[in-house]
Structure 1
């Protein structure tokens, strides 16, 4: 009888273990509201996987409810967190190579961003992520532009003598090279800084310009259009070991969902730029277009400032920068 009980117990335990391995719940964290495009990307993945009926559930934790915005990469790499939609440059302190994903003039427009995401440059970055047990599920870039309180900021000469807020250290270095002074702050503080005269100009994402109502405080907006200076890589990442522990069906469903989400991400990113222009126009703000010549002037300045600082401080920096710049 004892042998029979032991055998039955072993069989039951094995069945329970098999069920535990095949059925999984993944936790996905991000910092944005449920109205944000990045939340929509996460939702597409979660809903498509649920519809595939492969015993895999993705639970989304939006609005920095699980981890603080900049503190998600480390728990992801350690398997404490399963998935995140994350601006990769936030992890630049741990992996300085990732600072290339918020570098002025490296991305020209959204279609160029999509080509970068499927290039040897991105392969090299993904190899760095793999060393941290992290992989990319969904590639995605969001664009941004400039605002000026009293004048348009289109070319480097326009920034001279201006008190500017820049999104990221590399942009600060470039703007200082243009003769601007820098006041560092979160994008959520731009409005009050413009209102009180602390800032003359700023750059950030198209969506942040709208959500923080910056159009109420500025005279001119230089949006992302045919060319844009500001692009930030914000992929949906996953712990690599967690992915590899899933069943083949679960992995297949996840990759199919990611492909659908990536196509949506690209189209919505383009729409956000266009929508921001309409909002600023309705507010009576002048819209300035950056030309190819303006872009080239900024990029030439970045070569002397931001790019130079990056290659001098990152061991593999020049190779990675050359890989990025080689993508047409």
Structure 2
């Protein structure tokens, strides 16, 4: 009887070990099968730091060996630029590098992240990231179904096929693209006509005569080769009125289905990419100037007087409109302006 019991126990132990081994293998296989899809509108493999940022996150996540991979779809090859917010908040897309103001039609408060003159320089942008202003913005992002994996602020410039854009008078009569409603309102108040489109369509807009002028990020001015279309570039310089928040976002639905190790790997990769981007993006303005001068484009900068004149136009148009029409808008602007 004792021998029979020993045999039975051995068989039971063997079955248990086999089952445990099978479950471990199945769990490992399932983990390895998790592939996230990342989308953005920017050119891939051409040095755009927004693409590089997402690619870096993908490489570091895979290197963490937690059963997670990220497949990157650059150049709006998976979703069009303006479709990405809806896709990521609904869980149809996992990760995106996204100009947040593009979603201001759905969340009007996001226009504050592309408000003329609100940021001015990179050091202040870094301080904004930890401020009550950005805490409120990030709470709205999360409320709508996404979360920030990495912060990213970009400076921007102006350019025209007709001449140099300096003070408000220089934009009058030109058909101009602006990145969002706040800039559109300011430029319209200065006498420009507005044509709305994502940055990925500016080149064709200028090539076909739809646009005379544009403003966009320094990186987009280089990546989209707009130097082939314009006569004069107004570089950001010391008096930049254009700064835009373009974070790496993740769908909350996608994030919540990851295990703790995968979540940590993703957040760690995002933190590392954010630090890299903050250093790299500062080089972008000089690269912009060098690229455009080499292409024979005239390059100028706004003076302090030009900046003040634009700020006055903005306060009477986009700032005023934002405060009146957006819930909590006036308080949100005050929070941003209070950051020294």
What is aligned with 1:257?
Answer: 269
Residue equivalent to 2:127: 115
Q: CA deviation at 1:165?
A: 3.0
Partner of 2:40: 30
Matching of residues 5-84 of structure 1 within 5 Å:
15=24, 18-19=27-28, 22-23=31-32, 24-34=34-44, 35=46, 36-84=48-96
> Are residues 1:228 and 2:240 paired?
yes
Deviation at 1:233, TM superposition (A): 1.3
How high is the TM-score relative to the length of structure 1?
0.87
What is the match of residue 105 of structure 1? 117
Given the superposition, is the C-alpha separation of residues 30 and 231 from structure 1 closer, same or farther in structure 2, using an over 3 Å criterion?
same
- CA distance in structure 1 between the partners assigned to 2:215 and 2:49 by the alignment: 20
Cα distance change on mapping 1:78 and 1:193 into 2, 3 Å: closer
TM-score in terms of structure 2 length: 0.84
Q: How many residues align?
A: 327
Corresponding residue for 1:154? 166
CA shift, 1:108, in A, is 0.4
Query: More deviation in 303-312 or 290-299?
Result: 290-299
CA-CA distance at 1:18 after TM superposition: 4.5
2:249 match: secondary structure: strand
Q: Deviations over 1:270-327 (max 9, x none)?
A: 2222111112112332221223332232122111101111122211211212112222
Q: Cα distance 1:308–1:21, how it changes in 2: closer, same or farther (>3 A)?
A: farther
Are 1:266 and 2:278 counterparts? yes
| Rg (Cα) greater in structure | 2
CA distance in 1 between counterparts of 2:172 and 2:49 reads: 34
CA distance in structure 2 between the aligned counterparts of 1:78 and 1:173, rounded to whole angstroms: 30
Structure 1 residues without counterparts, runs of 5 or longer: none
Indicate conservation of the 8 Å contact 2:42/2:200, yes or no: no
Matches of 2:134 and 2:193, distance apart in 1? 33
Provide the rounded CA distance (Å) in 2 between the counterparts of 1:178 and 1:310.
17
C-alpha displacement of 1:177 = 1.6
Q: How does 1:132-211 map to 2 (within 5 A)?
A: 132-185=144-197, 187=199, 190=202, 199-211=211-223
Query: Match of 1:312?
Result: 324
Q: Give the distance between the partners of 2:241 and 2:318, measured in 1 at CA.
A: 13
CA displacement, residues 138-186 of structure 1 (integer Å, 9 cap, x when unaligned):
1112222112334321222322344433332221211122233334455
Aligned counterparts of 1:54 and 1:196: Cα–Cα separation in 2: 49
Q: Indicate how the Cα distance of structure 1 residues 316 and 160 shifts in structure 2: closer, same or farther if over 3 A, else same.
A: same
Partners of 1:185 and 1:84 lie apart in 2 by 19
Question: Aligned pair in 2 of structure 1 residues 11, 69: CA closer, same or farther (>3 Å)?
Answer: same
Name the CA distance, whole Å, in 1 between partners of 2:287 and 2:143: 39
1:85 alignment partner, one of 97, 111, 123: 97
Counterpart residue number, 2:309: 297
Kindly state the Cα deviation for residue 65 of structure 1 after the two structures are TM-superposed: 2.6
Q: 1:184 to 1:312 in 2, by over 3 A?
A: same
Q: Answer whether contact 1:109 1:225 (CA < 8 A) is retained.
A: no
Question: Which residues of structure 2 form unaligned runs of 5+?
Answer: 1-11
- 1:137, distance to aligned residue in structure 2 (A): 0.4
Determine if contact 1:171/1:306 at 8 Å carries over to the other structure. Answer: yes
> 1:204, 1:25 → 2: CA distance?
32
